[in-house]
Amino acid sequence: MHLDRFLCKQADYSRKTVLQLLSQKQVKVDGNVILHRDYPITPFSHIEVQGKQIQNATARYYMLNKPAGILSATTDPIHCTALTLLTGINTTDLHIAGRLDRATTGLLILTNDGKWSRQLTELKPIGANQIPKVYLVETAYAISPTTAQRFKEGIYFKTENVTTSPAQLDIIHETLARLTIYEGRYHQVKRMFAAVGNRVTQLHREQVGSIILEPALTTGLFRALTPQEVNWVWKR
Ligand code: URA
């Protein structure tokens, strides 16, 4: 958004007042006096008018080791949500970047940066720099030797009329495997196993792209992402 539009829309100044304030050097963005009305700003630009803070949010990013039974949502009238586990920080502007089912455990990413989370979660066509998501999967029945090949070829989802991107399955033992998928479709892992006649009994997300669930984070704990973990998303 441009600075003049922001000041009119968010701070309720008239267009004439905005132009006056700018020419009188009364507007600062990130500590610098700005004279140009079309100066580009983001939701995290620190904006000051006549010494008064108009916007001063900071982009924040977290990983949580989600326990089973916790809802991937910001609010819910019945179930406990992931946000309630982020104790001691302001959670009012946070959202979840890539939900997990209620029973699924592991890496859940939360942020107040909508542009960053869209970059992380948007569905990309095969081959277009898709982001790997790694899951540890326990199944009800022995995983048949043909499953890895089926997942590599892609599983057809009738509801969406799509075939999943080639996924990689590494069988650890007969009912335990590590699965890497490149999309985040609704109940994707469960539906892929159901399509080959199996059933997921436990699902745990270990990794999303370069963000790996911190081994020291026991279930229910969270930490801020490091600058490297954040910036990797922009650099892709
Ligand atoms: N696939 C699923 O089926 N469930 C999840 O929570 C994540 C991926």
Measured from the CA of 133, which atom of ligand 1 is nearest? Answer: 8
Q: Where in the chain is the domain with CATH 3.10.290.10?
A: 3-55
**What is the best residue among 66, 100, 107, 169 to mutate for testing ligand 1's pocket, by most ligand atoms within 8 Å of CB?**
100
Residue 127, pLDDT above cutoff 80: no
CATH superfamily, domain 3-55, is RNA-binding S4 domain (3.10.290.10)
C-alpha distances in Å from residue 123, one per residue of 14, 127, 132, 215: 40, 12, 11, 28
Which top CATH class is 133-208?
Answer: alpha beta
Q: Exactly one of 30, 101, 113, 170 is catalytic; which is it?
A: 101
- pLDDT at position 126 is 77
Instruction: State pLDDT tens for residues 39-79.
Output: 999 999 999 999 999 999 999 999 999 999 999 998 889 88
C-alpha distances in Å from residue 98, one per residue of 203, 208, 222: 15, 9, 16
Instruction: State pLDDT tens for residues 182-201.
Output: 999 999 999 999 999 999 99
60 vs 124, residue with greater confidence: 60
Q: Where in the chain is the domain with CATH 3.30.70.580?
A: 61-122+210-235
Instruction: Examine the residue annotation and report whether 30 is marked as an active-site residue of this protein.
Output: no
CB 41 within 8 A of CB 3: yes
Q: Is 125 exposed, middle or buried (0-12, 13-18, 19+ CB in 10 A)?
A: exposed
Token digits for 201?
């009994």
**What is the best residue among 179, 181, 189, 205 to mutate for testing ligand 1's pocket, by most ligand atoms within 8 Å of CB?**
189
Token digits for 82?
């992931």
- 102-116 average pLDDT score: 97
Measured from the CA of 190, which atom of ligand 1 is nearest? Answer: 3
Assign a CATH topology to domain 61-122+210-235. Answer: Alpha-Beta Plaits (3.30.70)
Show the DSSP H helices in 176-226 as ranges.
188-195
Residue 140, pLDDT above cutoff 90: yes
- pLDDT at position 10 is 85
CA of 192 from ligand 1 middle (Å) equals 10
Ligand 1 first shell, C-beta below 6 A: 100-101, 104, 187-190, 203
**What is the best residue among 155, 199, 203, 213 to mutate for testing ligand 1's pocket, by most ligand atoms within 8 Å of CB?**
203
CA of 137 from ligand 1 middle (Å) equals 10
Measured from the CA of 181, which atom of ligand 1 is nearest? Answer: 8
Q: Where in the chain is the domain with CATH 3.30.70.1560?
A: 133-208
